[in-house]
């Protein structure tokens, strides 16, 4: 098989679904923490000119990332019962 076919087959595989809801929550917590740390350490987009506390502002972005991820997971997994681990996904 060619390299293009291998890449196409790999991209067409279903996304592996985490074992439990707790695993998804940990993933969202990790994502929120990474957003917070990157924004706090690098302070892009002129954040150093912010009048208030940069710590609380970047922490807010991390918390929002976490909450939106949890909301998305709750809606798709618990409310709509969308299965992402089937072949047609």
Indicate whether 61 belongs to any domain.
Answer: yes
Domain count, the chain: 1
Q: What's the pLDDT tens digit per position in 16-68?
A: 666 788 888 999 999 999 999 999 999 888 888 888 899 999 999 999 999 99
Indicate whether 11 belongs to any domain.
Answer: no
The pLDDT confidence band at residue 10, using thresholds 50, 70 and 90, is confident
Indicate whether 46 belongs to any domain.
Answer: yes
Residues present in the chain in total: 89
Indicate whether 26 belongs to any domain.
Answer: yes
Q: Is the predicted pLDDT of residue 89 greater than 60, yes or no? A: no
Indicate whether 86 belongs to any domain.
Answer: yes
pTM > 0.85: yes or no: no
Alpha helix segments (H runs only) across the chain: 3-11, 21-42, 54-73
Query: Which range of residues forms the domain containing residue 75?
Result: 20-89
Indicate whether 70 belongs to any domain.
Answer: yes
CA pair distance 88, 50, nearest whole angstrom: 47
Report the pLDDT value the prediction gives residue 1, as an integer from 0 to 100: 64
Indicate whether 59 belongs to any domain.
Answer: yes
């Amino acid at each position: 098989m060619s390299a293009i076919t291998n890449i196409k087959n790999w991209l067409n595989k279903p996304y592996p679904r985490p074992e439990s809801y707790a695993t998804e929550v940990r993933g969202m917590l990790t994502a929120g923490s990474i957003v917070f740390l990157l924004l706090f350490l690098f302070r892009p987009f002129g954040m150093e000119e912010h009048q208030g506390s940069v710590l609380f502002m970047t922490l807010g972005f991390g918390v929002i990332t976490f909450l939106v991820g949890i909301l998305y997971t709750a809606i798709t997994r618990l409310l709509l019962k969308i299965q992402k681990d089937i072949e047609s996904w």
